[in-house]
């Protein structure tokens, strides 16, 4: 096992990738050798001492590629230091944040073998202009939670960098 760190992410519209890039850059500033890859491109974890996973929550569940990654790499992940960041709320509404924390806790319970050295929830981003055709159709429905929702970006870059700086002290050298 090398001393490399893998920062891997699942994303639908690119927001989680942008956070993963910031985490990877911050870890490199601390002297770590870091690879950054989408989860679906990771075939093995053999070359990594630690793994940082980033995935958004959609309607209470982690992105499907994140769920698949966890299932596929369970045996390797239990042998490594793992950190997790999750993107969720897209606005600064305290009730929404509490709800997403609850959803994240329920998601983590599904993986009792997963014991992250660090875990954090960050705000997400919503841009209706980037929605795919199906999501655009859903967003026009009055019953959709996306109906008339404006563009928003609740990612706190200062908090993201602070978390990554703190994470650097928790990962093996």
Give the model's pLDDT for residue 128.
73
Q: Which contacts of 109-117 are long-range, i.e. CB under 8 A and separated by 24 or more positions?
A: 111/70, 111/74, 113/74, 113/77, 113/78, 114/70, 114/77, 114/78, 114/82, 114/84, 115/82, 116/82, 116/83, 116/84, 117/50, 117/81, 117/82, 117/83, 117/167, 117/170, 117/171
Q: Which CATH superfamily is domain 4-125+155-168 in?
A: Flavodoxin domain (3.40.50.360)
pLDDT tens profile 108-162: 999 999 999 999 999 998 777 776 667 666 666 777 666 677 777 889 999 999 9
Question: Over the stretch 73-98, which tens digit does the pLDDT of each residue have?
Answer: 999 999 999 999 999 888 888 998 99
Q: What is the pLDDT of residues 48-67, one digit of tens each?
A: 999 999 999 977 789 899 99
> Can you give the residue ranges of every domain in the chain?
4-125+155-168
């Amino acid at each position: 096992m090398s001393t490399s760190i893998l920062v891997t992410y699942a994303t639908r519209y690119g927001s989680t990738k942008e956070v993963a890039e910031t985490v990877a850059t911050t870890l490199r500033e601390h002297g770590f050798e870091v690879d950054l890859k989408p989860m679906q491109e990771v075939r093995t974890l053999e070359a990594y001492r630690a793994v940082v996973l980033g995935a958004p929550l959609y309607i209470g569940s982690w992105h499907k590629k994140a769920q698949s990654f966890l299932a596929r790499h369970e045996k390797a992940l239990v042998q490594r230091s793992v950190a997790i960041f999750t993107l969720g709320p897209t606005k600064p509404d305290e009730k929404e944040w509490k709800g997403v924390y609850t959803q994240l806790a329920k998601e983590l319970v599904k993986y009792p073998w997963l014991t992250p050295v660090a875990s954090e929830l960050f705000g997400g981003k919503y841009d209706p202009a980037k929605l795919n055709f199906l999501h655009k159709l859903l967003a026009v429905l009055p019953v959709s939670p996306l109906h008339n929702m404006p563009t928003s970006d609740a990612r706190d870059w200062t908090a993201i960098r602070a978390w990554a700086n703190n994470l650097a002290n928790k990962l093996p050298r």
